[in-house]
Amino acid sequence: MKHDERCQVMRDMLSVKGWCFYEIRMEKAGKALYSAGKAPALKTIPAQSYIMISGRGDPNDVDFSNRVGALYSLAYAVKMAYKANALQKEISDFAVYPLEGIWTRADGGPFAKEKLEYTIMIRQPDFISEEMVAAALERGKAKKPGPLLKEIRYEAVPGGLCVEILHTGPFDEEPASFAKMDSFIEEHGLKRLENCHREIYLSNANRTPKSRLKTILRYSVG
């Protein structure tokens, strides 16, 4: 990634439903992956590498908050370790990407928050290797041992075609946006490839009214 394409992160940490994530500003190439329109549209997403942790249950519960906290502690450990050794590198620093989530219903039955299964994740730049993440993770375990750090993993997520929409409003009102995506898929002769959806959280919920929260929603399609 070229210098002028890198992300710039706003430094104030946010707390939403007990989770922490960052409001970001993107430039050029990065902006396309972290923006979407108010109407459903197709977009091809490249394969990307993430640190991630999985769980089950209501995202309002403390367990979810703890998992997000553990994920961000590693994300910043990776960032700071890279920065400390980057004096001779073309890229000397990088932004921590926003929190993302992959969500599905545990049993495929009626919607119930306590039955949700999720994987929350933070993208890693191409120049951050699995070995670099593993080293930061081991340092974190030694410095502040905790059971959740053991559950964090580094994985590549395949790219592909998706339908996306920018949902503006409370999380509980997302079904209205999903309905628009479902109609778009049917009208264009597409089909969903997975029984899950992806979310990217863009807003500072401490400073933004619920009616103006912005979340990108995505379905993988073919």
* pLDDT the model gives residue 122: 97
CA dist., res. 114 & res. 137, Å (int): 29
CB neighbours of residue 43 within 10 Å: 15
CB neighbours of residue 191 within 10 Å: 10
Residue 206: half-sphere exposure toward Cβ, Cα within 13 Å: 10
* pLDDT the model gives residue 7: 34
pLDDT at 23 over 60: no
Closest CA to 127 of 49, 28, 32: 49
* pLDDT the model gives residue 212: 92
* pLDDT the model gives residue 26: 41
User: What does the DSSP 8-state code read for residue 199?
Assistant: E
| Burial (CB count <10 Å: 0-12, 13-18, 19+), residue 41 | middle
The arithmetic mean of pLDDT across residues 66-93, rounded, is 88
* pLDDT the model gives residue 175: 95
Q: Tell me whether domains 13-20+48-157 and 36-47+158-222 share a fold.
A: yes
The arithmetic mean of pLDDT across residues 173-191, rounded, is 97
Distances (CA, A) of 79 to 119, 129, 192: 21, 12, 35
Split at pLDDT 50, 70, 90, the class of 88 is: low
Q: Write down the pTM of the prediction.
A: 0.84
CA dist., res. 126 & res. 77, Å (int): 17
* pLDDT the model gives residue 205: 62
* pLDDT the model gives residue 123: 96
Split at pLDDT 50, 70, 90, the class of 204 is: low
The arithmetic mean of pLDDT across residues 75-88, rounded, is 87
Domain 13-20+48-157, what fold? Multidrug-efflux Transporter 1 Regulator Bmrr; Chain A (3.20.80)
Which of the two residues, 203 and 59, has the higher pLDDT score?
A: 59
User: Per CATH, is 36-47+158-222 categorized as 3.20.80.10?
Assistant: yes
Split at pLDDT 50, 70, 90, the class of 173 is: very high
Helix (H) or strand (E) holding 30: helix 29-33
The rounded Cα 114 to chain-centroid distance in angstroms is 20
Q: Token digits for 144?
A: 């502040």
CA dist., res. 214 & res. 211, Å (int): 9
Closest CA to 198 of 156, 155, 157: 157
Split at pLDDT 50, 70, 90, the class of 94 is: confident
Question: For the segment 111-161, what is each residue's pLDDT rounded down to a tens digit?
Answer: 788 889 999 999 999 999 999 999 999 999 888 888 999 999 999 999 999
Average model confidence (pLDDT) across the chain: 85
Return the domain boundaries, the chain.
Answer: 13-20+48-157, 36-47+158-222
